[in-house]
Chains A and B, each alone.
Chain A
Amino acid sequence: MVDTILVPGKTVPLIVFLVIVVSMYLMMRYASKGKVPTIRTLPAYGAITEAVGRAVEVGKPVHYTTGTYTFVGQTAGGSAALTAGLSLLAYISDLCLSKGATLISSCAYPEVMTIESEILRGSYLKAGMGDEYAEVEHLRYVPIVSSCAPFAAGVAGWIEREKPATNFLLGPFFFESLIIAEAGYHAGCFQVAGTTSAGYSAFFLACCDYVLIGEELYAAAALATNDPIQAGSLRGNDVNRVWIIALIVIGVVVTLLGMKTALVNLLSI
Chain B
Amino acid sequence: MSESKGILDKIENMDVRIIYILVIICIAIPIIRPMGLPIPISESTISAYDFINKLPEGSVVLVGFETGAAGWPELGPQLNIFMQHIFDRNLKPIIVSGNVDGAQLAEMYTIPKMIKPGKVYGEDWVNLGYIAGGESGIAAFASRITSVTPRDYFGTPVEDLEMMKNVTSAADFKLAIVCSWGTPGHADYLRQYTTKFGVPLIVGAQTTTVPAIVPFYQSKQVVGYTNGLRGAGEYEILTHHPGYAVASLDAASSYHLVVFVLIVIGNLAIVAKRFVKKKEGT
Contact = CB atoms under 8 A, between A and B. Distances in A.
A145 B188 contact: no
Contacts of B69: 146-147
B129 to A, nearest CB: 14
B30 interface: no
A95 B136 CA distance: 37
Contacts of A73: 132-134
A149 B181 CA distance: 12
A76 B137 CA distance: 11
A30 interface: no
B208 interface: yes
A77 B188 CA distance: 8
Contacts, number: 55
Interface of A: 72-78, 145-149, 174-175, 186, 198-200, 202
Contact of B70 (A147, A200, A202): A147
5 contacts: A72-B134, A146-B68, A146-B99, A174-B181, A198-B212
Contact of B100 (A72, A145, A174, A199): A145
B247 interface: no
Given A72-B133, A76-B134, A77-B135, A198 B183 contact: no
A198 B132 CA distance: 26
Nearest to B134: A74
B182 interface: yes
B101 to A, nearest CB: 5
Interface string B64-89: 00001111000000000000000000
B98 interface: yes
Interface in B112-142: 132-136
B211 A199 contact: yes
Interface in B241-277: none
